[in-house]
Structure 1
Amino acid sequence: MHLRRFRARLAAAPILLALAGCQTINSGGLATSTASAEISGPAASAIAGDMVSRLSEQIGPGKATVALKQDSSTFGQALEASLKAWGYAVVTDQKTDDNTKLVTLAYSVEHFEGQVLARLSTSNFEIGRAYNVTVAGALPASPLSVMQRG
């Protein structure tokens, strides 16, 4: 019974992540950064660290300046710290010169059926994953979902 439930959740995760993106797209084309799932500092750090490691697979490690649309959530702060730890320059409201390779990044963290769904969005792609949150942190509960934009 548990295996069936796990498979059903696993199959639903990419669909739900795509649907979540449809609901939060703003007029600029990127999702608005939100972290409605209130999670602990260790869980936020674990999720942010995993997601940034996967982000680096898409844009290259530390090769860009990331413009982060941030809120004051625990996850937003953990994401900024993780980006910096991976060698990315992070700007929130500052202007950059025209020669800077700028990657605009938005995020979403939502609770769903006992798990936390996390998503990072750029103008070229979105990555997402489900996590099981524990007292000590968070562990991936699904494969990484990558959606390329045309």
Structure 2
Amino acid sequence: MKASATPITRRLATAGFVVLLLSGCQSLETDALVASKAPPEISGAAAGAVAGDMVSRLAEQIGPGKATIALKPDASPYGQALEAALKGWGYAVVTDQKTDGGKSVIPLAYMVMPFEGQVLARLSTSTVELGRAYTVTASGATPASALSLLKRG
């Protein structure tokens, strides 16, 4: 008898593949930010849950509050939630690309996109990219895949 993948296994594999593909679509230069985007239809609760999880994972990679984050937010609930989550982890956040020069500045770009009833979220810096799929509910969001991590040398 030949074993086949279950529908959930195929969905997770597909989501992981899409996240990996998206991680190669953009790269950041150290002095330039790419436009970030997130769909406006993601609720504030879901945006907060996704942003909180992604920033906690970012802090594991770059250290909490050790730098100023340069961010080009959009007007979406996710953009606002991401900025709040970064500040909650102790990062200084600049959105106009001007800094006082006291700390190192890390350009950060993000992307959130709907995919097969879930949302795929990605954070990108010049040294690390994080991606993960989330199941969105009325009260928030929960991770639906393992964290995808790409480190650049």
Normalised to the residue count of structure 2, the TM-score between the two structures is 0.88
AA aligned opposite 1:21: S
In 1, Cα distance between the equivalents of 2:100 and 2:109? 21
Please give the secondary structure, in 1, of the residue aligned with 2:8: helix
Other-structure match for 2:84? 81
Q: How does 1:12-91 map to 2 (within 5 A)?
A: 12-23=14-25, 25=26, 28=29, 31-36=34-39, 38-91=41-94
Please say if residues 69 and 94 of structure 2, whose CA atoms lie closer than 8 Å, have aligned partners that are also in contact: yes
Aligned structure 1 segments of 4 or more residues deviating by more than 4 angstroms: 26-31
Corresponding residue for residue 10 of structure 1? 12
Structure 2 Cα separation of the partners of residues 73 and 22 of structure 1: 24
Structure 1 pair 75–27 and aligned structure 2 pair: CA distance change class (3 A): closer
CA radius of gyration, larger in: 2
Moved more, 29-38 or 90-99: 29-38
Closer, same or farther: CA 139–27 of 1 in aligned 2, 3 Å: closer
Change in Cα spacing, 1:93 to 1:30, as seen in structure 2 (3 Å) is closer
- 1:140 and 2:148 are equivalent in the alignment: no
Displacement of 1:13 after TM fit?
Answer: 2.3
1:106 aligned residue (91, 109, 113)? 109
Distance 1:59 1:144 in 2: 16
Secondary structure of residue in 1 paired with 2:6: helix
User: Which TM-score applies when normalising by structure 1?
Assistant: 0.89
CA distance 1:31–1:18, shift in 2 (3 Å)? farther
Displacement of 1:65 in angstroms is 0.7
Question: How has the CA–CA distance of structure 1 residues 123 and 94 changed in structure 2, closer, same or farther, with 3 Å as cutoff?
Answer: closer
Q: Counterparts of 1:34 and 1:120 in 2: how far apart (Å)?
A: 11
- Is the contact between residue 37 and residue 116 of structure 1 (CA under 8 Å) also seen in structure 2? no
Q: In angstroms, what is the RMSD of aligned CA positions?
A: 1.9
Report how many aligned residue pairs link the two structures.
147
Aligned partners of 1:116 and 1:133 also within 8 Å: yes
- 5+ unaligned residues in a row in structure 1: which ranges? none
Distance 1:101 1:49, change over 3 A: same
Change (3 A) 1:103 1:76: same
What do the CA deviations read for 1:48-88 (whole angstroms, capped 9, x no partner)? 00001000001001111110121111100000001111111
- Larger deviation, residues 4-13 vs 44-53: 4-13
* CA 37–115 in structure 1, closer or farther in 2 if over 3 Å, else same: farther
Q: Which runs of 5+ in 2 are unaligned?
A: none
